[in-house]
Chain A
Amino acid sequence: MNNLKKVVLAEDNSTLSLLLKFRLEKEGYELLIAENGKEAIELIETHEPQLILTDIMMPFISGLEVISHVRNKLKVQTPIIVFSAAGQEEMVLKAFNLGANDFMGKPFSPNELVIRVKRLLA
């Protein structure tokens, strides 16, 4: 049976997704990748992951709406890490107000992301 912790990653930069997938799978997590907010929500509803990583600027539904959907509509407390190129206070505040647990501005170090992931899933 699959005891691996599931992580949903919503990111429209395919190269970055691939990189993070490798890195996180090496650490023992199962990665589900979405290219946009809509796919992300579908994956979250189907697989009920233990962690959600999402970019803010995405096609269809933005990362902020993903957070809002998870906290307000699905009403679950799954840890959420948000990252975005628009790394200003406004975006960070909104993300935290909506219920995100952690935030990393792009460009970020994948190694550091892994550390934070481990911390949240410990």
Chain B
Amino acid sequence: MDSSTVRIILLIIHYLFFIYAFSVVASYILLAIISAIESFHYMKKNSFVNYNEILSSNISPSISIIAPAYNESLNIVENVRSLLSNHYVNYDVIVVNDGSKDDSLDKLIEAYDLVKIDYLINPQIKTQPLRNGIFKSTNPAFEKLIVIDKENGGKADALNFGLNISNNQYVVCIDVDCLLLEDSLQKMIKPFLEVTDSKVIASGGVIRIANSCTIKEGKLLDVNLPKKFIEISQILEYLRSFLLGRMAWSRLNGLLVISGAFGMFEKKSAIAVGGYDTNTVGEDMEIIVRMRRHMEEQKVNYKVAYIPDPLCWTEAPDNYKILISQRNRWTRGTIEVLKKHRKIGFNPKYNLLGMLSYPYWFFYERLAPIIEVVGIIYFIILVTLKNVRWDYAFAFFLLAYLFSVFFTIVAILSEELTYHQYKKKKTGFKLIVATFLEPFILHPAILFAAIKGNIDYYFNKKLKWGEMKRKGLSN
């Protein structure tokens, strides 16, 4: 190859990088604007709603909270108490003890006066079998509780068991250590009930980070900013993603994922598509894509709704090891889901789902870490070839950094203007400091996790299964 061909190739590569970077930035800005509009509308729509009427009604639809648990003995009694104290009337709590090796079941039996009962299970979805059985309480104060003890099968399997057991119309799938605020159920079910011209198949909520918050006996007493920068950085990440990203996708009706830690479905729809897929680590995203696909194929008008209110609080990883493991799993989940449903990508038969959501997720979520690493490698090659204009490189890096900082500050401002959860003094200052440090603290770890995820996905098959069986449902 002669030098001019090489030059042309390099030029093309440069242009591609720029186009990619530019489109990423443009999409972030666009999504942020749409999110802002949607948040505004949402707040106006719900600022005066009296949820009390719906919660006290026995005509309100029935809901089952399904909470899989694996080796959660330490906190399980308190977590269940928290789930039982929701203000909704017509609901029950199905705790699925997924083959835990600890004394979770014994603790529950003692705390809630449980006895084993006969229960006829409608085997709509195939799952791992029961182990010790199904239990209910003899104390009428805990009538809403059903505890299932089954053989280990992973989170998706446990959720499917819950789907089989539930006799209610809607199900909420949550992680058992998630703290749900008392009015969460009414808020989550509202989208299902207030549409008249389409069908809501799922509604997803925001996950808020509970680290360092004061939680006593399953109740959120006080919201504090966590101490470690790794935790604060995750808050920033969640704010960007939830307030400036998902709101927009919800408005466009292109939402591809509902957090696995907190999502509500119409039970029949979930069962109709076969429940959760036990062969993937990204089961929360996978079921949404599958349900959406199903609805597109049925040609029914439908919507996946999203509630931005802070309703669900959970602990985020506070050290790099767990964080990287978590992000690794998210990466593999994304790859698996996109691969499994690749038929819908760029397929006009699937409308927005296939023509916008899927391509976006593929290019900007799945490929982004790879492109970034390729860029870094390319840059390193240039450095070794001494072919780099350091002042230009510096300018570009500075621009990328400043844009990230700018965008994050906009996210912080959105939070202040909407839910304003971090009221204490000095938290503003800490958030800003974290904003400036995040690209150096969190981003490299996440990038590393994503690359490792890709490597593990392609070259380390046995990791998939072992992890699910062992961990069950760690976050």
Contacts and interface: CB of A to CB of B under 8 A. Distances in A.
Touch A–B, Cβ below 8 Å: yes
B217 A62 contact: no
Nearest to B221: A59
Interface in A17-55: 38
Contacts of A84: 56
23 contacts: A38-B217, A57-B87, A59-B85, A59-B182, A59-B219, A60-B217, A60-B219, A61-B85, A62-B85, A65-B141, A68-B139, A84-B56, A86-B56, A86-B89, A88-B56, A88-B58, A90-B58, A90-B89, A94-B140, A94-B141, A97-B140, A98-B140, A98-B141
A85 interface: yes
Contacts of A88: 56, 58, 89
A94 to B, nearest CB: 6
Interface string A85-108: 111101000100110000000000
Interface in B54-89: 55-56, 58, 85, 87, 89
A86 B55 contact: yes
Nearest to A85: B56
A64 interface: yes
Contacts of B87: 57
Interface in A66-93: 68, 84-88, 90
Contacts of A86: 55-56, 89
A64 B52 contact: no
B56 A87 contact: yes
Contacts of B85: 59-62
A47 B87 CA distance: 29
Given A59-B85, A90-B89, 7 more contacts: A60-B219, A64-B140, A65-B141, A68-B139, A87-B56, A88-B56, A90-B58
Contact of B141 (A60, A64, A85, A90): A64
A9 B388 CA distance: 75
| Closest 9 pairs (CB-CB, A-B) | A86-B56, A64-B141, A85-B56, A65-B141, A68-B141, A57-B87, A88-B58, A86-B89, A94-B140
A75 B357 CA distance: 61
A61 B55 CA distance: 18
A35 B140 CA distance: 23
Contacts of A94: 140-141
Interface residues of B, number: 13
A98 B182 CA distance: 23
Contacts of B52: 85
A88 B89 CA distance: 10
A94 B89 CA distance: 13
Interface in B178-211: 182
Contacts of A57: 87
Contacts of A65: 141
A66 B50 CA distance: 27
B109 to A, nearest CB: 18
A59 B219 CA distance: 8
Contacts of B58: 88, 90
A88 B182 CA distance: 19
A50 B470 CA distance: 55
B89 to A, nearest CB: 6
Interface string B85-102: 101010000000000000
Residue in A57, A61, A84, A98 whose Cβ sees the most chain B Cβ within 10 Å: A57
Interface in B102-150: 139-141
A72 B236 CA distance: 48
Nearest to B82: A60
Nearest to A105: B56
Nearest to A69: B141
Contacts of A68: 139, 141
A64 B139 CA distance: 11
Nearest to B85: A62
A86 B5 CA distance: 77
Interface in B138-178: 139-141
Nearest to A72: B139
A60 B140 CA distance: 17
A88 to B, nearest CB: 5
B186 to A, nearest CB: 12
Contacts of A87: 56
Interface string B26-70: 000000000000000000000000001001101000000000000
Nearest to B87: A57
A62 B141 contact: yes
Contacts of B217: 38, 60
Contacts of A85: 52, 56
A94 B219 CA distance: 24
B218 to A, nearest CB: 8
